[in-house]
Structure 1
């Protein structure tokens, strides 16, 4: 199917997805709305490429020479899209047949919205995400109770206006994985756009390609939260959270009751601080660019959404 047949490109990012990519593509082929399917293969070495080539839906495939992560692959995809809408979809997600129609109709009904998030459900039927909220310390956290408007969308399954995403700077490729969706939502809101939710159902294996709770997972999460705040949040909040993270890292060896969770490992936290420091000059330049395109103040967004 060519991009001229539809106003939506569904982007599926995969890395070593041989065990689940076929189910995702089958579900996309069963959608009751036409669309372009674009798979970005992050240099998989497990037979994923052969499965993509053999799938009867014949998805378009961009194969990267190295693993650029979810954020990097999505940024690459955005460069190739000429449809007015772009859907983000995890390779371990299986959307219901009416998923895309629900998202497109919701976006059409909300002209001030730049993104609409899906209802992602775990295999046992529990809701994993019905959108993203902003916590009082600047984390992006999944909502499990449906609501009409949300702070941000879950990047595992969402529909966005392509031009709006490009206008606010695209996808932060340097994040590699995690928080690229919440950072994008921050910038869309700063530009004056809304984010809404739809009852567009997606069955999600969750963590099929990564390992939630692993040291690598926590490293990406902690680093990218700090980078997101430095790029998007009010200065006082960004500085406060960076200082809080650094102070806790310094004091952890002195605590007898040090938590055992991976994100409290001292080596991991020092690595997060080091990576954040190395990225600081570029991050501050990006912050200035975001300020130039913002229609609303950072404090306005924070006061409206933080802690809700």
Structure 2
């Protein structure tokens, strides 16, 4: 249900882009929630009839339509100044939460005053676990966890304290898509907060309905934003090491092919894509370093301490 009464503690922000085929399932699931909430949909300039679906749905969501597709991160950043509630939920338009999803997440944050974010259990339509949160791998990737303690939250269906998110610098709109959640978890932890996993709060997630995992765009955003996140948030030695490693692998790939050695077929091992990622990171480096300084000024914990918190590493 969507309500404006004084018991409403959460604004659920749904980001949609050409979500016509799955948007109704998301809206119906939110209408069935046992906790009152405000529903704000950010429509990333969809051109597939999504606007008509939003206008016709009985939940009557508030809609903010962007002039262009600004990505998941850009849409969340655009929504944040419009949120006046204690909590803000991030929700993909291809996600359908169980009716007690919001109640369980709100309760988890009520019971843990140190936690700034709560990550539910995202599962496939067949019921297999996709994620209960995020951990860090040894090379600084954010990896979906299927059990145990977590470093960060999966941004597809998480609940955050609005004030903590704002104080941590909000959402990195420039990421466009991917790693905005792990970057945010880094900054929250640097500010002294923790992140909790709430596997009882279940969400059916189609995953990749708007972007195709494994595609060239997926790998471009994924690799670029991982490196950007490390420059902004990680210990300097880790950030420099991973930038150097990425550049070294890129340089070695043509040599391996020339020598007839096996090179993975995945798009992130294409030299052209990797060179573009490096160019984008280098071009943005002044802004990333400025962001790093600002994040450091707000921090109450050291980067080394937070880096250790995210490990031992787990592989994908």
TM class, shorter-length: over 0.9
Q: Could you tell me how far 1:201 is from its partner in structure 2? A: 0.2
Per mean C-alpha deviation after superposition, the further-off stretch among 257-266 and 224-233 is 257-266
Aligned residues: 306
Q: Is the 8 A contact 1:233 1:298 kept in 2?
A: yes
Q: Is the 8 A contact 1:138 1:306 kept in 2?
A: no
Superposed, which structure 2 residues align to 1:136-215 within 5 Å? 136-145=138-147, 147=148, 149-198=149-198, 199-215=200-216
Q: Could you tell me how far 1:303 is from its partner in structure 2? A: 1.9
Q: Could you tell me how far 1:124 is from its partner in structure 2? A: 1.1
Q: Which runs of 5+ in 1 are unaligned?
A: none
1:22-74 deviation per Cα after TM superposition (whole angstroms, max 9, x unaligned): 11000000000000000000000000000000000000000000000000000
Corresponding residue of 1:298:
303
Alignment of 1:271 onto 2:273: no
Q: Is the 8 A contact 1:150 1:197 kept in 2?
A: yes
Distance in 1, matches of 2:96 and 2:117, equals 20
Q: TM-score, normalised by structure 1?
A: 0.98
Aligned residues: CA RMSD: 0.9
Q: Could you tell me how far 1:182 is from its partner in structure 2? A: 0.1
Q: Is the 8 A contact 1:8 1:85 kept in 2?
A: yes
Q: TM-score, normalised by structure 2?
A: 0.96
Corresponding residue of 1:242:
243
Q: Could you tell me how far 1:282 is from its partner in structure 2? A: 0.3
Corresponding residue of 1:70:
72
Distance in 2, matches of 1:248 and 1:90, equals 33
Corresponding residue of 1:232:
233
Q: Is the 8 A contact 2:29 2:99 kept in 1?
A: yes
Q: Is the 8 A contact 1:42 1:73 kept in 2?
A: yes
Q: Could you tell me how far 1:192 is from its partner in structure 2? A: 0.3
Q: Is the 8 A contact 1:71 1:174 kept in 2?
A: yes
Q: Is the 8 A contact 2:123 2:205 kept in 1?
A: yes
Q: Is the 8 A contact 2:119 2:153 kept in 1?
A: yes
Distance in 1, matches of 2:242 and 2:272, equals 19
Q: Is the 8 A contact 2:134 2:153 kept in 1?
A: yes
1:110-151 deviation per Cα after TM superposition (whole angstroms, max 9, x unaligned): 001000001000011110001100111000000012x3x410
Q: Is the 8 A contact 2:18 2:50 kept in 1?
A: yes
Q: Could you tell me how far 1:306 is from its partner in structure 2? A: 2.8
Distance in 1, matches of 2:43 and 2:310, equals 35
Q: Could you tell me how far 1:2 is from its partner in structure 2? A: 2.2
Corresponding residue of 1:31:
33
Corresponding residue of 1:12:
14
Q: Could you tell me how far 1:301 is from its partner in structure 2? A: 0.9
Distance in 1, matches of 2:207 and 2:35, equals 25
Give the ranges of 4+ consecutive aligned residues of structure 1 lying more than 6 Å apart after TM superposition: none
